[in-house]
Structure 1
């Protein structure tokens, strides 16, 4: 009754949340097979297990036996391509490890930092805004990968700069960041990256685990949004709410594919930092000025804000979303 009064509908499902989570635990306890992934889909009351093209027939059969032993609600699927982290060694923003995209700007109250993917580079990595190495962005002061996939880059100047509350999405436009949250299966989401720009898709699973060649990462968001090398660390968001940073996946933005994201709320808690967000817009019906930094209405997109002038990268490096240091394809970070 309380569910209906709240405007939601109740549906009796065959398998409880505990059963679905236990299935994930059983899969994690099985011998590790690189190139496999699984996620919980609460809408269909299933756990989906995927194996990419690198998984042998013998490993596929072995994984199938594990899935059968768990229950009929575990579904097996083959995924095209290979599951990889989205790191590469091209420009525009890089370190010795390669190129990534910036995620979001955060602060601990003293210094400002860039939140990006952990696989982009270990603690101590130095990041630059040009291949010549003459525009230093900062250094990685904390990183977690594998296991999780997030890292923290302290800005060399100590501050992110003007427009730090905006994510650039290309074409001189940006999205004002209002807060962080957790997605739901079926939700439409957007991702921005320094290689492929802005793309959208849907959330297809939560609490996902991926066995990358470098190691296993758990607790991820599974989506249909595409991504390509260099998009790692870029922002996942919806209506101005921060959801995740790009971890890895399969496919590309020509053929499509599956992409996984590190949830931002978990990373913020682990790192002891908070998002740099826009002030709520004030009512302008009486002619007053709107709040925030002038880049976009809450959750919306607009042009022109000083912090939203970067190309197609993620959160701005050197300034909020893609301003200052992000002139070469949207802010970016590590590799």
Structure 2
């Protein structure tokens, strides 16, 4: 691949020629952080302040609390056993709450460091109800998505308000309620994918579609499945060949991976697109519901919000996509496939949503660990 400059702002965060020294990068967060503070680049902190209304100190404190909650969640889940009903993080208090169906496990969960809420249904029962709904045929225009809400201890079905009285929507809801504990929520808009037509200067193309690169893996990168089918060729910002889609799934899932060659290398970093410093990727520990999360994409760059729901089925016009995570982060066309991070931990690749980064909206991502497991890939970390 020919280059005329060492670094180009529009180039993907992960496909750089040569080493750090060759590329001229000085990683913003290369030094280890204190054990009680999650490492974050100045750019990520700036984005959190802007999008979440925090001070710099509050952003650092929140990342540290979320990092601790991630560790607590794993211990508390083991302590709860079969009575585990889900968990969520509360930013104001900095605590992780774990729902349990048995008071006998409450003390063990508290000993793990979590607050406790007694509920009627455990996670296995809620997941079974959602799986039953997954098997139904949802009206493409009227039903937006559905997910398990551990705080409500129910499966929430999101219905587009203007279609709530449609006969096919009401029939779907009747069948959904037969699956178990279900509640209905009205939404203003329906999610869509965030691919875009060709726009010069952006990170990668397949055919006439432009998308964003997600995370480096050894041998390539992961991205959204709706951006290209297996075997499709991929070119970079300068239209030179990168590689091909080695695997792709959409709908049902929305993930893919692309191999790299022709002089393209991978590095464990997400660029700030020339406006904020870069963020190193150090792992893929899953953030809890309620945690802060930030997204990087080739169209709208850095934006932050919170994790709203997990294991949500999103009913796109092309078909349902399962096991998605919903966030309050905005996105726009061309951001598809881009990176979602919590602190320095990779979370997933941008799939779709509604709204924009002027008026706001919601965006879903496909969790990174599912993609890695599906294709037997190893995340490239710092």
The interval holding the TM-score normalised by the smaller chain is: 0.7 to 0.9
Match of 1:103 in 2: 214
Q: Normalising by structure 1, what TM-score?
A: 0.75
Report the 3-state secondary structure (helix = DSSP H, G, I; strand = E; otherwise coil) of the residue aligned with 2:197.
Answer: coil
Which fold has the larger relative contact order, with Cα–Cα distance below 8 Å and residues 6 or more apart in sequence? Answer: 1
Instruction: Say whether the 8 Å CA contact 1:41–1:185 is kept in structure 2.
Output: no
1:230 and 2:334 matched: yes
Report the 3-state secondary structure (helix = DSSP H, G, I; strand = E; otherwise coil) of the residue aligned with 2:296.
Answer: strand
1:50 and 2:153 matched: no
Distance 1:213 1:54, change over 3 A: farther
* Poorly superposed stretches of 4+, deviation over 4 Å: 53-56
1:23 and 2:129 matched: yes
Match of 1:2 in 2: 108
Instruction: Say whether the 8 Å CA contact 1:41–1:204 is kept in structure 2.
Output: no
Report the 3-state secondary structure (helix = DSSP H, G, I; strand = E; otherwise coil) of the residue aligned with 2:286.
Answer: coil
Match of 1:59 in 2: 168
How far 1:54 sits from its partner (Å)?
7.8
Report the 3-state secondary structure (helix = DSSP H, G, I; strand = E; otherwise coil) of the residue aligned with 2:116.
Answer: coil
How far 1:10 sits from its partner (Å)?
2.2
How far 1:62 sits from its partner (Å)?
1.9
How far 1:257 sits from its partner (Å)?
2.0
How far 1:103 sits from its partner (Å)?
0.2
Distance 1:136 1:28, change over 3 A: same
How far 1:212 sits from its partner (Å)?
1.2
Match of 1:11 in 2: 117
- Higher relative helix content: 2
How far 1:28 sits from its partner (Å)?
1.4
* Per-residue Cα deviation, 1:143-171 (whole angstroms, up to 9, x for no partner): 1112211111111236525xx11111331
The answer to which of 20-29 and 62-71 deviates more is 62-71
Q: Normalising by structure 2, what TM-score?
A: 0.66
Q: Which runs of 5+ in 2 are unaligned?
A: 1-106
* Per-residue Cα deviation, 1:256-304 (whole angstroms, up to 9, x for no partner): 22211101001001111111111xxxxxxxxxxxxxxxxxxxxxxxxxx
Match of 2:205 in 1: 94
Q: Which runs of 5+ in 1 are unaligned?
A: 279-335
Distance 1:137 1:52, change over 3 A: farther
Task: Tell me the number of residue pairs that the alignment of Structure 1 and Structure 2 aligns.
Answer: 269
* Per-residue Cα deviation, 1:102-130 (whole angstroms, up to 9, x for no partner): 100101xxxx2011011100011112224
How far 1:172 sits from its partner (Å)?
4.9
Structure 2 distance, partners of 1:53, 1:5, is 43
Match of 1:247 in 2: 351
How far 1:55 sits from its partner (Å)?
4.6
Distance 1:181 1:58, change over 3 A: same
